[in-house]
Amino acid sequence: MFRLSSVVVLGVLALALPSGCGDKQNPAGDFRQPADASGSAGVSYTQTIAPMMAASCSVSDCHDSTARVANVALDTYDEVKANAERSNQSIQDGWMPVGSVPPLTEAEKQAFDSWVKAGAPNN
């Protein structure tokens, strides 16, 4: 048999639990990616940057391990990080990618810029 106080406690918990998910830093409650200073989820190298580089940069005759345009390969995290600032400037200025590769979207440009500004984490 429940007492009135038990019912009240259960009711309060039932109302509080759904609003307790997430936090001020990461309101979506997605703890796989760290929140940046703006409160939005950080950009993942593995999920966002690496696929973007594979599709638009480290392709044949550009920045792959054999072509190395401007002597820069962008096949691995270490290579991308070592060239992150210079690559970001080229991307933001519209110099890269060039040729038959489709241009990056504004969202992709912003993601790369955010990733570089976050210190180019290997996440």
Is 5 within a domain?
A: no
Instruction: Give 91's contacts (C-beta < 8 A, 6+ positions apart).
Output: 104, 109, 112, 113
Could you tell me the residue range of the domain that residue 110 belongs to?
44-123
Q: What pLDDT was estimated at residue 41? A: 58
Name the token pair of 6. Answer: 């038990």
Number of domains composing the chain:
1
Please state whether the predicted TM-score (pTM) of the whole model is above 0.85: no
Question: Rounded to whole angstroms, how far apart are CA atoms 24 and 113?
Answer: 23
Q: What pLDDT was estimated at residue 3? A: 52
* Per-residue pLDDT tens over the stretch 2-33: 454 443 333 333 333 333 333 333 333 333 33
* Per-residue pLDDT tens over the stretch 61-107: 789 988 778 889 999 999 999 999 999 999 999 999 988 788 899 99
Is 71 within a domain?
A: yes
